[in-house]
Structure 1
Amino acid sequence: MKRLDPGLIGTLYRAACLAELDALKPGNVHAFAPGHRMVVADFVTSAEVSAPALARPGAGVGARIRDGVAATMAAVGQNTNLGILLLCAPLATAAERGEGVAAVLDTLDRADAAGVFAAIRLANPGGLGRADRHDVAAAAPDSLRDAMAEAADRDRIARAYGTGFDDLTAIGLPALAEARGQGLDPSWCTTAVHLAYLRSVPDSHVARKHGRAAAEELRREVEEGLAGLDLAAQPVAALLTLDASLKARGLNPGTSADFTVATLFWDALAEAGAALA
């Protein structure tokens, strides 16, 4: 398998982060509207300062995530990209090693667990709560995969560590290919990916902060309310109406946005020659 240069990996990571910000993603921060006491500039800075850690040559997955979060917190003072880094670090590692992402996940060790637990404590994401086993306030376990499995039923990103990132290959990448096949502009292809995640699975970030019922209700609202929406017509007004409604209710589908970045990153790495599947 082809190994990608770390410098290129960092460039593609930054590009994926910035492309996600250019798209109108209802409920999230984007170029059309801020939200949740955050603005686009926070995320632009976060992408820039976390890229060196994410693409550091030879670094393990946990170290990439920990150092990326640390750089972000130092620069913007809030958690803007923990989920992004959790998803993108295994992809970056796989691309550098010339391996599939499943192979990288199979080799995660105690050092990776320690790095991820440290990153989560630094970021202190909203609605995290407590866990009976593998709580992030405790010492890191020997197996990061075991810790992620413990959280898989309540966190879609944790679940991804046990499924080889199948949400990317089953939801995000097909939605991106379909949007491109329809001739959509790049930013509207990104919107299509985000909406595909919103329609397909309850958003974990919403579930953590507002409960699983609220997350499922949001999924149904998007699925039913946007049925038949023609993204080729660039329906800014309709999506901004939904965007304002979600933000007024404090609903931030951040996990869907994280998966959107990871989808764009996977696609760019694959285009550059990485064989991630």
Structure 2
Amino acid sequence: MTPADRAQLALLLEVAGTPKPGNVDRERDLAGLRFEQFLAGAVGAREGLELAESGPVGEAFEAAVSGMADASGTNTQFGCLLLLTPLVRAAARARASAGDLTPDDVSAVVENTTVSDAASFYCAFEHADVAVQEPPADAEALDVRRGADAIPDLREQGVSLYDVMELSAERDANAHEWTTGFPRVFRAAERIEAADGPLADRAASAFLGLLTEAPDTLVVTQHGESVARDVMARAYDLRNAPREEVSAFADDLAERGVNPGTTADLTAAALYVALERGIAVEGGISTDSGVTVDE
């Protein structure tokens, strides 16, 4: 499988995992957002994911978002693709040198993004409706909600895509991953690798674990810090609970319209890293020859 193959599979496994409190999964739809739309989004993002193997990160991201939105009719996986695009680029480079995907590989990719990458990132907001927080007071000209209108300011200030992420790193979990070497993603990948059972079940477990670590950015944006911390605390209490209790929590959040979507982004990225490191859907470790061996 190519890096793009694995990225697409990661998107599909993420949405198939259940229960994932507050998120769409194979047993739950949300108001106006259905399971099959996520499947369509994963298919639509394919061209951009392929471009990410060798092309500019920003251009690949915009292509993936555009394809996702066209196929699904909405924003299903914008944040997932923001994390997956540099991971795919880093994995392709690691493969070329016969190495394993590491945080240093991803850091090298994101730290070398350009102003053109940033411009493509802003253009991606023209394709999908994305919930974002207010920009810092001194960065209103770089508000992502301006979309392509912000590009002249980007170019005038010489702002790279990495620089854009730094502006939001303290308030946005995905931007924080970009600027710190993807630590939560790689830790969650290790947990997925160490777990047993079907990968979709491991995805649900990884989601719950990630939800206990920090307030979800999307929940903070839509409902405030207090609600996000309540969700995090409840997830922590359910770490070792029976599936039925986690499922009840999932139903409750869905009914309340509380959607920890950023946690889903991190889960998809962690699944991708685990797949690149050899975890296979057959339940074993995939070798370069495609053979599966017991864990």
- TM (normalized to structure 2)? 0.82
Cα offsets for 1:55-113 (capped at 9, x unmatched): 22521111111011111222222111110110000011111222711111121111111
* 1:270 maps to 2:277: yes
CA distance in structure 1 between the aligned counterparts of 2:240 and 2:277, rounded to whole angstroms: 31
* 1:229 maps to 2:241: yes
* 1:108 maps to 2:113: yes
1:206 alignment partner, one of 185, 199, 219: 219
State the 1:273 CA deviation.
Answer: 8.3
2:131 alignment partner, one of 126, 135, 142: 126
2:127 is paired with a residue whose SS is helix
CA distance in structure 1 between the aligned counterparts of 2:31 and 2:175, rounded to whole angstroms: 24
- Count of residues paired in the alignment: 258
Structure-to-structure mapping, 1:166-185, within 5 angstroms: 166-170=183-187, 172-178=188-194, 180=195, 183-185=196-198
* 1:85 maps to 2:61: no
Provide the identity percentage. 27
1:246 corresponds to which residue? 253
CA distance in structure 1 between the aligned counterparts of 2:85 and 2:287, rounded to whole angstroms: 17
1:154 alignment partner, one of 149, 160, 171: 171
Cα offsets for 1:214-272 (capped at 9, x unmatched): 11111011112x14325xxxx2x322211111012110000111111100111112227
2:7 alignment partner, one of 8, 13, 33: 13
2:176 is paired with a residue whose SS is helix
State the 1:190 CA deviation.
Answer: 1.1
Could you tell which deviates more after superposition, 264-273 or 200-209? 264-273
Q: Which runs of 5+ in 2 are unaligned?
A: 95-100, 279-285, 289-295
Contact 2:46–2:67 at 8 Å: present in 1 too? no
- TM (normalized to structure 1)? 0.87
Contact 2:44–2:72 at 8 Å: present in 1 too? no
1:53 alignment partner, one of 48, 57, 71: 48
RMSD: 1.9
CA 1:163–1:153 in 2, change beyond 3 Å: closer, same or farther? same
CA distance in structure 1 between the aligned counterparts of 2:159 and 2:134, rounded to whole angstroms: 22
State the 1:38 CA deviation.
Answer: 0.8
1:135 corresponds to which residue? 143
State the 1:204 CA deviation.
Answer: 0.6
Could you tell which deviates more after superposition, 14-23 or 139-148? 139-148
Cα offsets for 1:23-74 (capped at 9, x unmatched): 1111100101111421111010110110121122521111111011111222
CA 1:144–1:64 in 2, change beyond 3 Å: closer, same or farther? same
Q: Which runs of 5+ in 1 are unaligned?
A: 1-6
Dislocated runs of 4+, deviation >6 Å: none
2:67 corresponds to which residue? 71
Q: Which structure would you say has the larger RCO, counting Cα contacts within 8 Å and 6 or more residues apart?
A: 1
Cα offsets for 1:105-164 (capped at 9, x unmatched): 121111111111111343231244444312111223522222111111211001111101
CA distance in structure 1 between the aligned counterparts of 2:21 and 2:114, rounded to whole angstroms: 37
CA 1:128–1:91 in 2, change beyond 3 Å: closer, same or farther? same
1:117 corresponds to which residue? 122
1:4 corresponds to which residue? none
Contact 2:16–2:26 at 8 Å: present in 1 too? yes
CA distance in structure 1 between the aligned counterparts of 2:125 and 2:170, rounded to whole angstroms: 18
CA 1:273–1:36 in 2, change beyond 3 Å: closer, same or farther? farther
CA distance in structure 2 between the aligned counterparts of 1:44 and 1:26, rounded to whole angstroms: 19
1:3 corresponds to which residue? none
